[in-house]
Amino acid sequence: MQEYERLLEEQPSFRANQQRAEVFTARAVTSGEAARVASTVVTIPTVVHVVHKKPAENITKAQVRSQIDALNADFRAKNPDVTKVPDPWKGLVADAKIRFRLATTDPDGKRTDGIVRVATDRASFGAGDAVKRVASGGSAAWPTDRYLNIWVCTLGGGLLGYAQFPGGPKATDGVVILNTAFGTEGSASAPFDQGRTLTHEVGHWLNLRHIWGDTLDCSGGDRVPDTPNCEGPNTGKPTFPVVTCNNAPYGDMFMNYMDYVDDAAMFMFTAGQVSRMNACLAGPRKSFLA
């Protein structure tokens, strides 16, 4: 949300684009436009920019593939731990019918494995878009209307990752992930070693908000009707139920991918969240339907 607020301040068009996206989302969910997106599986070509200084930061192809596998399982509701969803909410679990595939051709039409490796002289990156620019030691995005761009690097300041919501600058559109919170093997480290940081951030890329609405006083909301309003983020591995904001008896849906709990404690998107993501693909990210 720090990045979201920065873009609102620095890019006047982003605020207008986000407002248009919200109007479109409300219409698409009620008119059936979002549901039509879900009639088939949408495949998102994906490029992973591995920006590294130390050898350990130059993660393996196997680690990259493990992340894509985890992402696909989560978005298709085929993750084995989906069985842990509490009984009151099992009926809300939904398959987003979105599939991510490492790109097989680059922007020039040449064959690729979907991984770009860039050596940098920077020890780490922070919030902001330095990792997305060659001049600041990063890697330039591939066309963001054709590829989901993911930058994997060492992040400072305790950051696990961040994403750009729809409607922001094209040159910086995509997701940034800490290399030790990426994938399920190699350098991936507990408690963020099941690929859920990227699942969470791609949710933002598809216009999902945090389930607490980014307020800390019960006044927020994520604009999705089937996720209970909650006071703020949950962390670690909570025990069900966690009751806040008069949401008893079941409390916060902390096992939702759009909370802040450990990877092993999150394992679901709801039908309402899927509708919102489908609306995003029908509107601001419709180039991926071509």
The catalytic site residues sit at 201
- Phi/psi of residue 140, nearest 5 degrees: -70, 145
Location of structure tokens 């920065």: 6
Calculate ∠ Cα 232-5-256, nearest 5°.
Answer: 35
CB–CB of 57/151 below 8 Å? Answer: no
Contact 168/20 with Cβ under 8 angstroms?
A: no
How many residues comprise the chain? Answer: 290
- Residue 196 sits at the vertex; the CA angle it makes with 275 and 27, to the nearest 5 degrees, is 15
What is the distance between the alpha carbons of residues 16 and 149, in angstroms, rounded to a whole number?
Answer: 23
Q: Is 168 left (phi over 0), alpha (psi -120 to 50) or beta?
A: beta
Please give the structure tokens belonging to residue 133.
Answer: 């620019």
Backbone angles phi, psi at 52, to 5 degrees: -140, 150
Q: Which helix (H) or strand (E) holds 2?
A: helix 2-10
